[in-house]
């Protein structure tokens, strides 16, 4: 399981960082470093279902070892020594009970697991990062793993100082810690930034939105493709798999923001506004695309304005500028997806042309406002580039229209990828709505 792999990677980084001998074992690290932080207290930092740390301690064992935590630890070591390797000892592995929902596939291959592998799996799981939806992520990058390790003691401190705080949330803590510290110049961690809420009568650390973490990673590793492992350990384990993060694509949101909105002081987006983007996809849904990139962080709510029938759940609604605070983030993401700044300029030119034409027809020709409104709606409801070109041909009749703009619009609409066309139409709709504001 990947938890053991990450545990081993981390242990090598740890030995390198602190100049430890190469034979420094995972068992030693667990006993000297991890156990005192994670389990030598009535409140544990981590939960592994059915493990000895999860089970009650008899009065006899309590008296024998002097404490509940010591008794659990001794039982844990004894089970590893017995080589009874199920999912309660090898974290992330299948249950040794073949009838359990978390059992692995039956195989004739004889896997000779070692105790070292078991300890490594616990270390690896302690470095998992959880995002909203319950999916956990494992990174194999040295800087990230050592940074997460530095946060363990702080979680113990936070848990000790916060009455009624739910324990066993290391994966959730890791997400909050990494989000804050990845790009921070601060040495000290700001505990007040941790959002807690009441869950089943107890306070619980709230899980970070996955896009918040992705944006922080993109700022730190701007030109990098970061490979991660995504999974879920629960009553039924889920393996999502190896998911590449195309961080260069994500970082384009910042680069385009600086390029496009730098002179628009009333609409310029701060880093915080970009990072508060609520995604259309859950992290699990985004992973189903096999990679995480710009397409994965589509803003929630944008499909309300895409032409109906072009995307799942698209509605083709008109934009109400007074009620929508997400217009700038919608525009920024669309422009990044189109990957062509000239299309923003062209959309503004065409929106102005359309606005002027409609105003002229209403004033000079006395046409009903509802007729002109339907004319504009037909253009914005175009599902295909062919339909769009047909709808704008009526504008050729207008003597004040710049025909070169129409020609460029038709060329761009026909030549662009089919999936980009609804985005381009929606960008024009947004620009037109601003003129009608």
Instruction: Indicate whether 27 pLDDT > 80.
Output: yes
Residue 246 neighbours by CB under 8 Å, 6+ apart: 225, 291, 292, 293, 294
Nearest CA-CA partner of 268 in 251, 250, 254: 254
**CA angle, residues 167, 169, 171, in degrees to nearest 5:** 160
Cα four-point dihedral sign 249, 426, 307, 319: positive
Phi and psi of 382, rounded to 5°?
-60, 125
Instruction: Indicate whether 16 pLDDT > 60.
Output: yes
Spatial distance between the Cα atoms of 432 and 142, rounded to a whole number of angstroms = 49
What is the bridge-based pairing of β-strands 225-232 and 202-205? unpaired
Spatial distance between the Cα atoms of 242 and 292, rounded to a whole number of angstroms = 11
Nearest CA-CA partner of 436 in 376, 382, 384: 376
Q: Enter the DSSP assignment of 238.
A: E
Instruction: Indicate whether 263 pLDDT > 70.
Output: no
Spatial distance between the Cα atoms of 292 and 227, rounded to a whole number of angstroms = 10
What is the bridge-based pairing of β-strands 225-232 and 238-246? antiparallel
The answer to whether 98 touches 106, Cβ cutoff 8 Å, is yes
pLDDT-derived band at 99, boundaries 50, 70, 90: low
Instruction: Indicate whether 89 pLDDT > 70.
Output: yes
Spatial distance between the Cα atoms of 127 and 37, rounded to a whole number of angstroms = 14
348 or 87, greater pLDDT: 348
Give tens-digit pLDDT for 36-70: 999 999 999 999 988 999 888 888 888 888 899 99
Cα four-point dihedral sign 70, 72, 75, 80: negative
For every residue of 27-49, DSSP letters joined together read HHHIIIIIHHHHTSSSS-S---T
Q: How far is CA 260 from CA 11, 256, 305, in A?
A: 45, 6, 22
Packing angle, helices 115-125 and 2-17, rounded to 10: 80
The answer to whether 115 touches 81, Cβ cutoff 8 Å, is yes
Helix, strand, or coil (residue 230): strand
The percent of residues in the chain predicted with pLDDT above 90, rounded, is 64
Give tens-digit pLDDT for 327-344: 889 999 999 999 888 999
């Amino acid at each position: 399981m990947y938890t053991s792999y990450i545990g081993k990677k981390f242990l090598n980084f740890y030995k390198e960082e602190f100049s430890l001998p190469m034979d420094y074992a995972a068992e030693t690290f667990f006993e000297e470093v991890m156990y005192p932080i994670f389990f030598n207290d009535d409140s544990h930092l981590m939960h592994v279902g059915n493990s000895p740390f999860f089970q009650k301690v008899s009065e006899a064992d309590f008296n024998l070892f002097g404490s509940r935590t010591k008794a659990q630890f001794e039982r844990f070591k004894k089970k590893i020594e017995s080589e009874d390797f199920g999912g309660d000892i090898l974290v992330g592995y299948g249950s040794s009970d073949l009838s359990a929902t978390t059992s692995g596939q039956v195989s004739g291959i004889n896997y000779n697991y070692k105790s070292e592998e078991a300890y490594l799996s616990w270390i690896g799981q302690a470095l998992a990062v959880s995002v909203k939806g319950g999916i956990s992520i494992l990174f194999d990058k040295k800087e990230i793993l050592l940074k997460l390790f530095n946060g363990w003691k702080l979680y113990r401190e936070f848990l000790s100082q916060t009455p009624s705080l739910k324990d066993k949330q290391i994966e959730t803590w890791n997400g909050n810690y990494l989000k804050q510290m990845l790009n921070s110049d601060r040495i000290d961690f700001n505990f007040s930034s941790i959002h807690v809420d009441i869950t089943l009568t107890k306070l619980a650390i709230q899980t970070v939105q996955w896009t918040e973490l992705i944006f922080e990673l993109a700022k730190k590793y701007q030109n990098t493709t970061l490979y991660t492992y995504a999974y879920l350990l629960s009553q039924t384990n889920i393996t999502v798999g190896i998911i590449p993060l195309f961080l260069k694509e994500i970082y384009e949101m910042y680069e385009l923001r600086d390029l496009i909105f730098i002179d628009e002081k009333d609409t310029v987006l701060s880093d915080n506004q970009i990072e508060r983007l609520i995604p259309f996809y859950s992290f699990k849904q985004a992973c189903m695309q096999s990679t995480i990139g710009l397409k994965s962080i589509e803003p929630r709510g944008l499909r309300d304005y895409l032409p109906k029938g072009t995307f799942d759940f698209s509605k083709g609604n008109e934009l109400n500028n007074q009620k929508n605070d997400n217009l700038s983030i919608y525009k920024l993401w669309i422009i990044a997806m189109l990957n062509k700044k000239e299309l923003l300029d062209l959309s503004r030119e065409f929106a102005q042309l359309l606005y002027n034409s409609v105003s002229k027809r209403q004033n000079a020709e006395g046409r009903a406002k509802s007729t002109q409104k339907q004319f504009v709606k037909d253009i914005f409801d175009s599902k295909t580039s062919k339909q769009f070109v047909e709808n704008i041909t009526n504008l050729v009749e207008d003597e004040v229209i710049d025909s070169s703009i129409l020609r460029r619009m038709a060329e761009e609409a026909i030549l662009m990828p089919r999936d980009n066309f609804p985005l381009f139409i929606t960008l024009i709709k947004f620009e037109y709505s601003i003129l009608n504001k």
